Amino acid sequence: MPRFFVSPEEINPSFMVLTGENAAHGKVLRLKNGDEVTVCDGAGTDYRCTVSDVSNGQICLVVHSVDPSHSEAKVNCTIYMALSKGDKFEHVIQKATELGAYELVCFPSARCVSKPDDKSLAKKLDRWQKIAASAAEQSRRGMIPKVRSLPSYAAAVQEAAQADLAVCFYENEDQLTFRKAIEAAPFRTAAILTGPEGGFEESEIQQAQAAGLKICTLGSRILRCETAPLCALSALMYAVGEF
């Protein structure tokens, strides 16, 4: 069943109208009178609807039922990923959204090759948010993960440290496994911090540790910067019973 996200002001308990990109998407899907669709408010509520009219630039819907979304994870997990080259972060946004990430945050670190200026970053953020929205619709999420940027590594560390479970992954760590960190204590919020192509510098790891993050290994193999956050998120979701 097609799924559309709308803003809270567009929500009506009995009748709704899809416009803009949603209407254009509906046209691509060739929606017609009588077709069933789901509209989501992005805050965890689904509205099951039937198309009542299709006209130029809008699609009218009649609401039949209102139910809570059942696709959101028990744990709110935010991915903090250092800026990377090319479209690697785009790949992580799409897949992490499907896996259940709550938010995705990028930040600069010492070994980052990608260093976009403010104007370029603003354009990227707009594109990244659209990728998250598309992935959320496809995977039937109850909300669209927010995609944000932070100005520094220090800001990312301090924000990540506020989570119940805050973990930084380091290829030179060989004692604390992610499994042990997950099993240490119950948690409702989690933060996963991963580095760029060249990894974190030792001084950055010390900074994360001083802020209260657990420094963990993801195993004996070196993972690419776009693989590590998805691997960790998958392990986390498995551990909390999502899979």
The enclosing domain of 142 has a CATH number of: 3.40.1280.10
Say what the pLDDT of residue 32 is.
93
Q: Which of 68, 103, 121 finishes a domain?
A: 68
Say what the pLDDT of residue 12 is.
87
The answer to whether the CB of 72 falls within 8 A of the CB of 100 is: yes
Same domain? For 18 and 98 the reply is: no
Same domain? For 40 and 148 the reply is: no
Same domain? For 213 and 146 the reply is: yes
Say what the pLDDT of residue 70 is.
86
The answer to whether the CB of 181 falls within 8 A of the CB of 168 is: no
Cα distances from 127 to residues 80, 84, 131, in angstroms, run 18, 15, 6
Same domain? For 140 and 87 the reply is: yes
Same domain? For 145 and 217 the reply is: yes
Tell me the sheet residues that pair with 47.
Answer: 39, 66
Cα distances from 2 to residues 15, 25, 44, 94, 234, in angstroms, run 17, 10, 17, 18, 26
Which three-class secondary structure state does DSSP give residue 193?
A: strand
Structural domain total, the chain: 2
Query: What's the predicted TM-score (pTM) here?
Result: 0.89
**Domain ranges, residue 194:** 76-239
Per-residue pLDDT of the chain (243 residues; tens, 9 = 90+): 889 999 888 898 899 999 999 999 999 999 999 999 999 988 889 999 999 999 988 999 999 999 988 889 999 999 999 999 999 999 999 999 999 999 999 999 999 998 899 999 999 999 999 999 999 999 999 999 999 999 999 999 999 999 999 999 999 998 999 999 999 999 999 999 999 999 999 999 999 999 999 999 999 999 999 999 999 999 999 999 998
